[in-house]
Structures are given as C-alpha cells and as structure tokens.
Structure 1
Amino acid sequence: MSSEDPTKAGEVMLEVVDNQINANDPPLVKETFNRLRKLGISRKESKKYIACALSVEIFDVVKNSNEIDYDRYFGNLKKLPEMPWDDE
C-alpha cells in the first residue's frame, strides 16, 4: 500500500458523501449535514463526520463480506457529531 492510498480513500469517501447529499439519497445524509451545519460545524468537517459514519459500514463490508447495515449507518448518522466508536 502506498502512502497515497489513505488520502485517495478519504477523497473517495468524501465524494460519496457529496453524492449522497446532492442526490438527497438517502435523505438522512442531507438532513444530518444540515443538522451539523446548524450546530456550527463547518461544511468540510460536517462531511468528514458523515464520511466517518459511512467508513464504519465500508470497513465492515470489506472485512466481513457483509452488506451495508443501513440501520447501523442511519443510527450512527443520528448520533453525530458523536463518533460511532465513542461508545467502545
């Protein structure tokens, strides 16, 4: 793995978040983005928070060959800005 891979992965995650917000699909992503913005969190940081919630799902898909757990993803979105791993 090159040192650029983590950067590229982060860029791809943020692109996915942008696409979800712009398409309003799923709607909870845009709602979460707007909620975080109302809390005073910057656009960039709000998208990073959402990307963190999404990364939990992507990691599980890759590691365990599971499908995305939308219930968990949506639950983690609702908890933001608390991070999904803060409960651990």
Structure 2
Amino acid sequence: MTQQEQPFDQEELIEIVENQLADNEPVKVKETLLRLTMKGMDRDEAIEHIACALSLEIIDVVEHGQPFNHQRYAEHLALLPEMPWMDDQA
C-alpha cells in the first residue's frame, strides 16, 4: 500500500493515539507510552511507534473488512520498540 492509498495519514494516527491516551482506552496504549519513555525514548517518538502499531489494525480493517482486533493491537504494542512487521514490507 502506497502513501497515497493509505486511508489515513501520520497526523491522523497520532491524533487517534493522543485520544486513546486521553481516554485511557485501551489502557495498553498508556502502559506502552510509559514503558517506552522509561527506556529513554522521547514522547513524540514513542507516540509515533504506537501509531505504527495502530496503523496495522486500521489497514486490516480497511483492506479486509475485519473488525478492529484489540488483542492483536495489544500484542503489537507489547513488541515495541521492535517492529518485526516492518521486516515483512522490505
């Protein structure tokens, strides 16, 4: 999927993540942010990593018509800062 074909952009993803943090839903997002910043990552970079994990679920919803998979999103968040799904795209 190219940048033009994506149903969202980075700013929209970051806004969604910020909303998830403000709503504390899912809790795993706030936990992930805390974990990443405690490891020395700055907040903006941590938010970008979380947005990357979120994008996987949004792509699946759009491309396959599947409901948002909260469990898989949590699993991707747990992998951060590693992003093994990026290896699949190389």
**Into which bin does the TM-score normalised by the smaller protein fall?**
0.7 to 0.9
Residue 43 (structure 1) aligns with: 43
The DSSP-based 3-state class of the residue aligned with 1:63 is helix
Instruction: Provide structure 2 residue ranges, at least 5 long, that are not aligned to the other structure.
Output: none
Contact 1:33 1:46 in 2 (8 A): yes
Q: Is 1:17 aligned with 2:17?
A: yes
RMSD: 2.1
Q: Is 1:85 aligned with 2:81?
A: no
Contact 1:76 1:84 in 2 (8 A): no
Instruction: After superposition, give the CA deviation of every residue in 1:59-85 in whole Å (9 maximum; x if it has no partner).
Output: 000100111111110000011001140
**C-alpha distance in 2, partners of 1:83/1:15?**
21
- Residues 54, 84 of structure 1: alpha-carbon distance in 2 compared, 3 angstrom cutoff: farther
Instruction: Provide structure 1 residue ranges, at least 5 long, that are not aligned to the other structure.
Output: none
Aligned residues: 85
Q: Which TM-score applies when normalising by structure 2?
A: 0.85
Residue 29 (structure 2) aligns with: 29
Identity of aligned residues (%): 44
Q: Which TM-score applies when normalising by structure 1?
A: 0.87
Higher helix fraction: Structure 1 or Structure 2? 1
- Residues 84, 16 of structure 1: alpha-carbon distance in 2 compared, 3 angstrom cutoff: farther
